[in-house]
Amino acid sequence: MLAGDPIIQVTDLVKEYRGGLRAVDGVSFSVQRGEIFGFLGPNGAGKTTTIMVLISLLRPTAGRAVVCGHDVAREPDRVRSRIGYVSQDIAVDDALTGEQNLFLQGRLYHLDRETIARRMAEVLAMVDLTDRAGDLVLTYSGGMRKRLDIAEGLIHRPDILFLDEPTLGLDIQTRRRIWDYIRLLRAREGVTVFMTTHYMEEADQLCDRVAIIDHGRIVALGSPAELKAAIGGDLLTLDIAAGDGHAAGDLVGLLRTVPGTKQAFRADDGRWVLVAGHGEEAAPAVLEVLGAHGLRVRSLAMKKPTLDDVFLHYTGRELRRSEGSDDFGRMRMGLRRARMG
Ligand SMILES: Nc1ncnc2c1ncn2[C@@H]1O[C@H](COP(=O)(O)OP(=O)(O)O)[C@@H](O)[C@H]1O
Ligand SMILES: [Mg+2]
């Protein structure tokens, strides 16, 4: 592999499960060495399936993926020795200490005792677990377990770390700390990070570039700033009192006459959304236009676009809606497991 080559190169990748479901439906992208690259999409979009193909645990149905210079289908062992993988479920063993977990992981990669001891000290320091390394994982918080999981993925000094939903179900403070660790390990280890998330804020804060994925396809790809700029301006959200004799189509037409408006549509929740280059100028103008037609505005909010708006822009649906339900489902699963155990 040459110095300037991308460290991950994916071309027209397809993964079809038995039964015919196309979880990954022809995706192409590349990741540069040292990037934090994010796959952002709702539950079921095909994020985990993509990771499983890239780490060579699932065979592609069609297309090609080259990771660290090796074709994942033809040289899976070479790929596996160069990458670390942290699954979306916590994989550490509760009945062992943090150190014991790391030791086993090191043996799995055929590292000798000395190398493991040295690496263990380094990765434990990196995720801030040195003081607790001798304690049973049973006594760790959710955030500490996830950090230990990440440390395990790093023990053999991989070129790429694959993180599948690294902060799923964690509270916001813990999530922010995990983000700090991910940034730190990129800075210290120079490791390339490929991560998935359904938290738009996480992708926005952490990733150099983001691919937005929906139904197995990439709908947008770029830096968070580029993606948000593509929306074309600020978003004005309006709650308009139902005026007599104004059909929805009429209102869209009317909103489009507001100077500076690039787009107008009705959101799922019944409010109206207007995209304008300069929100500060469009806000008084829209009130004027609607007022002149006898329409009353109950509320008006202006904001800069988020990645959720980018998702809405390309798919017509909101990403945010899927967040809570997914975590809730996992929480219930966890409770059920706890009860059974
Ligand atoms: N082993 C499997 N067999 C059949 N369908 C699967 C399997 N794993 C995942 N799927 C389906 O593939 C789609 C993508 O799943 P997944 O890659 O897990 O998405 P994400 O990680 O984005 O939530 C979903 O519709 C899911 O139900
Ligand atoms: Mg997943």
CA 169 to centroid of ligand 2, rounded, Å: 13
DSSP bridge partners of 14 = 25, 62
Q: Closest residue (by CA) to atom 3 of ligand 1?
A: 17
CA 51 to centroid of ligand 1, rounded, Å: 11
Task: Indicate if ligand 1 lies below 6 Å from the C-beta of 143.
Answer: no
Which tokens hold the place of 140?
A: 């760790």
The model's pLDDT over 108-160, given as tens digits with 9 standing for 90+, comes to: 999 999 999 999 999 999 899 999 999 999 999 999 999 999 999 999 999 99
Residue ranges matching CATH 3.30.70.100 in the chain: 232-304
Q: Residue 69: name the closest of 12, 160, 11, 2 by CA.
A: 2
- Of 13, 15, 16, 21, the one to substitute when testing ligand 1's pocket (max ligand atoms within 8 A of C-beta) is 21
The model's pLDDT over 253-270, given as tens digits with 9 standing for 90+, comes to: 999 999 989 889 888 788
pLDDT given at position 32? 97
Burial of 219 (0-12, 13-18, 19+ CB in 10 A): middle
Check: CB of residue 165 under 8 Å from CB of residue 197: yes
CA 221/CA 200 separation, integer angstroms:
14
The residue-averaged pLDDT of 232-241 equals 90
Task: Indicate if ligand 1 lies below 6 Å from the C-beta of 44.
Answer: yes
Task: Indicate if ligand 1 lies below 6 Å from the C-beta of 198.
Answer: no
CA 17 to centroid of ligand 1, rounded, Å: 8
- CATH code matching the domain that covers 232-304, chosen among 3.40.50.800, 3.40.50.20, 3.40.640.10, 3.30.70.100: 3.30.70.100
Q: Is the Cα dihedral 305, 308, 311, 313 positive or negative?
A: negative
Q: Closest residue (by CA) to atom 10 of ligand 1?
A: 23
DSSP 96: S
Check: CB of residue 56 under 8 Å from CB of residue 80: yes
Task: Indicate if ligand 1 lies below 6 Å from the C-beta of 300.
Answer: no
Residue with tokens 């916590």: 90
Quick one: 8-228 is in which CATH superfamily? P-loop containing nucleotide triphosphate hydrolases (3.40.50.300)
- State phi, psi for 139 to the nearest 5 degrees: -90, 0
Relative to the CA of 41, which ligand 1 atom is closest?
22
Q: Closest residue (by CA) to atom 6 of ligand 1?
A: 17
pLDDT given at position 3? 67
Task: Indicate if ligand 1 lies below 6 Å from the C-beta of 63.
Answer: no
CA 332/CA 329 separation, integer angstroms:
5
Q: Which of 12-26, 95-109, 282-296 has the lowest mean pLDDT?
A: 282-296
Residue ranges matching CATH 3.40.50.300 in the chain: 8-228
Q: Confirm whether pTM is higher than 0.95.
A: no
Chain mean pLDDT for the chain: 89
pLDDT band at 183; cut points 50, 70, 90: very high
Q: Which ligand is nearest to the CA of 45?
A: 1
pLDDT band at 247; cut points 50, 70, 90: low
